[in-house]
Amino acid sequence: MFWFSGVHYGYNALLPALKELGVFSSYCRGNDCSGQDKMFSYAFIVSVIVQMCLIPLAGFLMDKVGLRINKLVSVSVVSIGLFMFAFTNSSTGPILFVAMALVSYASLASLICNHQISSQFPRARGVVIALISGAYDSSTAVFFIFAQTYPKISLQTSFIILAVGTLIFGVIMALFFLTQYSEDMTYCDRKSRDDEVEVLEVDGGIISQSEKEALSSDGETQDIDAQVTQILDKKYPNLKSCFRSWPFFFVAFWFALGLLRFSYFFSQLSKQLEVAFPGQRDIVDNLLRISSAISMCGFLVAPISGTIMELSKRAYQKQMKLRLANRSGYPVNENELYWTHLRAMAPATTIMSTAALILSSVLFVQQQQFVFYVAFVCHMFLRSLLFSTTATMVIIAFPVRNYGIVYGVANFIAGVMSTIQYGLLEMPVVAGNAICVVISVLMFI
């Protein structure tokens, strides 16, 4: 997962090498290469939009066809995109748009398949998802390594090796480590579930067998995971009910804002650095490489973010167990339990929103390299939490059997909103940063 997933997020580290190869050099006018920089930014924005707008297709394949087929398709598409990277040069510059789009879409499709591995660890699902997402984030190291070894090893050679390795690893993963469906994705037999937890509806509330046995002999409460599953199945009997709910609106709205802040930082970083350090090309190129180097530390942050989510989830579960214990023999409102269950994600989303706000605020400082080190670290935390938290929220808020499609549609909405970046890139850097501050504040909602 370190080497064969989200490599395209290390894209900025490759820009000096791609410029040396003459990619989009025709957009330079003498010493003014702002047009060339804009084309590189457009290529990244296109990759984000294609990734998010097409990911519902991957979600549909995962839910309806299975993990194994989806994984095989995604690694094949990633390999094709990497081969296109290998043959990108001054005369084939536009192929970079297609290469970035294929790699970004298929790598995320592969990631959502990998997320289902978390079903094997129900007690530490948040940590497992965070670790998998962290490995995805840290794969930016691949492009950083390519940039450091260039020109001793040509980009063409590096990308061909990566494309072949991706295909081999992906096929092995699909055939030997993934099943057609994870256990959580299968439709449980209704009768067996009713035998396990008997649910009686009383005045809009629920009294279950697990409630009746809420207090055990040692004073500890029963595990309520089965009861939460019952609530999810009742609230969301079909896919349409998921999309018409407030939780879906909040998840989609929050993720769209986070993705816009996250991806705009990548797409305007080169321009931001050139404004902050005019005429200092060496500093700009060095900071671009450092941004990729810091991004690859996402795997180190992943256990922290995963632990935060898991501890928060357990704390809120204790609250729910206490409420069940205090109301033993009385109906408990299922909406109250459901929203308490969802609030477990609040600490992670607050930390992520804070990182986004700091990132947006410090960029107003000019001619100070340490400011960008702070920005890179905040961006790493933002990135580490954005995808893992969103995936976890979808998993806990809706029936897991609908995870692929619900997560895919949330990504589609975020992708459509990401088109705003085209307008932001035409604005002065300061104005764009000011809008990002507003976006970061809205993420606290």
pLDDT in tens, the chain (445 residues): 656 677 887 788 888 899 999 999 888 888 788 888 889 988 988 888 888 888 788 777 777 777 788 888 888 999 999 999 999 988 898 999 999 999 988 888 888 777 766 666 666 666 777 777 777 777 777 888 888 898 899 999 999 999 999 899 888 888 887 766 555 555 444 433 444 333 334 333 444 443 444 334 333 334 667 777 788 888 898 888 999 999 999 999 999 999 999 888 888 888 889 888 888 888 988 888 888 778 777 777 777 777 777 788 777 777 777 766 666 555 667 777 788 778 888 888 898 899 999 999 988 888 888 999 999 999 888 887 888 788 888 988 898 888 878 888 898 899 888 888 888 888 888 898 899 999 999 998 7
pLDDT of residue 119: 63
By the 8 A CB rule, do 255 and 414 touch? yes
Distance CA 377, CA 359 (A): 9
Q: Which residues contact 401 (CB under 8 A, 6 or more apart)?
A: 63, 184, 185, 186, 187
Could you tell me if 296 and 141 are in contact, meaning their C-beta atoms sit under 8 angstroms apart? yes
Farthest CA pair distance, the chain:
82
Rounded to the nearest 10 degrees, what angle do helices 369-397 and 125-138 cross at? Answer: 140
What crossing angle do the helices spanning 246-276 and 369-397 adopt, rounded to 10°? 170
Judge whether 250 and 346 are in contact, CB under 8 Å: no
CB 360 within 8 A of CB 440: yes
Q: How far apart are CA 263 and CA 138, in angstroms?
A: 16
What confidence score (pLDDT) does residue 281 get?
A: 84
State how far the Cα of 279 lies from the Cα of 284, in Å rounded to an integer. Answer: 9
Helix/strand/coil for 87: coil
Instruction: Give Cα separations from 51 to 72, 103, 356 (angstroms).
Output: 17, 9, 22
151 prior amide bond cis, ω within 30? yes
Q: Is the separation of the CB atoms in 208 and 227 below 8 Å? A: yes
Facing residues of 333 across strands?
205
Side-chain-side CA neighbours of residue 351 (13 Å): 19
Q: Are 247 and 343 in contact (CB under 8 A)?
A: no
| CA distance linking residue 19 with residue 77, whole number of Å | 26
- E strand spans, 162-218: 199-202, 205-208
Q: What angle is formed at CA 15 by the lines to CA 416 and CA 357, rounded to 5 degrees?
A: 50
Q: What is the DSSP code string of 132-165?
A: HHHHHHHTTHHHHHHHHHTTTS-HHHHHHHHHHH
Bridge partners, 330 (sequence order): none
- Distance separating alpha carbons of residues 239 and 401, to the nearest angstrom: 9
d(CA 12, CA 207) in angstroms, rounded, equals 56
Cβ–Cβ contacts within 10 Å for residue 374, how many? 16
In a 3-state reduction of DSSP, which class is residue 230?
helix
Q: Which two tokens stand for residue 107?
A: 């790598």
Q: What value does the CA radius of gyration of the chain take, rounded to a whole number of Å?
A: 23
Crossing angle (nearest 10°) for helices 281-295 and 11-20: 140
Q: In sequence order, which residues have a C-beta less than 8 Å from that of residue 60 and are 6 or more positions away?
A: 404, 405, 408
Q: What is the set of domains in the chain, with CATH numbers?
A: 7-186+222-443 (1.20.1250.20)
Residue 31: what pLDDT? 79
Task: Find the length of the chain.
Answer: 445
